[in-house]
Amino acid sequence: MTKMNKYTEKIKENTVIPLSFYEQFDVKKGLRDVNGKGVLAGLTNISAIHSFDENGEPMPGVLEYRAFNIKDITANIKSENRFGFEEITYLLLFGELPTAEELATFTQELAEKRALPQDFVRDIILKSTSSDIMNSISRSILSLATLDPKSSNLSLENVLNQSLSLIANFPLLAIYAYHAYNHYENGESLYIHYPDPSLTTAENILRLLRPDKKFSDIEAKVLDLALILHMEHGGGNNSTFTTHVVTSSGTDTYASVVASLSSLKGAKHGGANIKVSQMLDDISENVSNHADEAEISDYLRKILHKDAFDKKGLIYGMGHAIYSVSDPRAEVLKSYVKELAEEKGLHDDYQFYKKIERLAPEVIAQERNIYKGVSANVDFYSGFVYQMLGLPEALYTPLFAIARIVGWSAHRMEEMLNMNKIIRPAYESVLATKKYVKIEDRK
3-class SS at 166? Answer: helix
Domains of the chain, earliest start first: 61-266+397-418 (1.10.580.10), 272-388 (1.10.230.10)
Out of 34-43, 84-93, 135-144, 283-292, which region has the weakest mean confidence (pLDDT)?
Answer: 34-43
- For 59-109, the pLDDT digits (tens) are 999 999 999 999 999 999 999 999 999 999 999 999 999 999 999 999 999
- In the sheet where 58-65 sits, what is the strand order? 47-52, 58-65, 68-69
Residue among 230, 244, 320, 411 flagged as catalytic: 320
- The structure's pTM equals 0.94
- For 245-273, the pLDDT digits (tens) are 999 999 999 999 999 999 999 878 888 78
Query: Which residue, among 276, 242, 302, 277, has the nearest Cα to 390 in the 3D structure?
Result: 277
Q: Respond yes or no: is residue 179 known to be catalytic.
A: no
| In contact, 145 and 252? CB cutoff 8 Å | yes
| Model confidence band, residue 371 (pLDDT cutoffs 50, 70, 90) | low
3-class SS at 345? Answer: coil
Question: CA–CA separation, 93 vs 90, rounded Å?
Answer: 5
Question: CA–CA separation, 266 vs 379, rounded Å?
Answer: 14
| In contact, 237 and 269? CB cutoff 8 Å | yes
Out of 30-34, 65-69, 116-120, 229-233, which region has the weakest mean confidence (pLDDT)?
Answer: 30-34
Which residues are paired to 47 by β-bridges? Answer: 65
Q: Respond yes or no: is residue 379 known to be catalytic.
A: yes
Residue 355: count of CB within 10 angstroms of its CB: 18
Rg (CA), the chain: 23
- For 424-438, the pLDDT digits (tens) are 999 999 998 999 999
Tell me how many degrees the CA angle 317-323-329 measures, rounded to the nearest 5.
Answer: 65
- For 155-211, the pLDDT digits (tens) are 999 999 999 999 999 999 999 999 999 998 888 889 999 999 999 999 999 999 999
pLDDT of residue 271: 80
Q: Is the pLDDT of residue 51 over 80?
A: yes
Q: Is the pLDDT of residue 372 over 70?
A: no
Tell me how many degrees the CA angle 392-398-404 measures, rounded to the nearest 5.
Answer: 140
Average pLDDT value for residue range 371-383? 84
Residue 184: count of CB within 10 angstroms of its CB: 14
Residues with Cβ within 8 Å of residue 400, at least 6 apart in sequence? 230, 264, 270, 273
Alpha carbon distances (Å) from 407 to 243, 401, 411: 10, 10, 6
Question: CA–CA separation, 379 vs 272, rounded Å?
Answer: 6
pLDDT of residue 128: 85
Residue among 252, 327, 349, 379 flagged as catalytic: 379
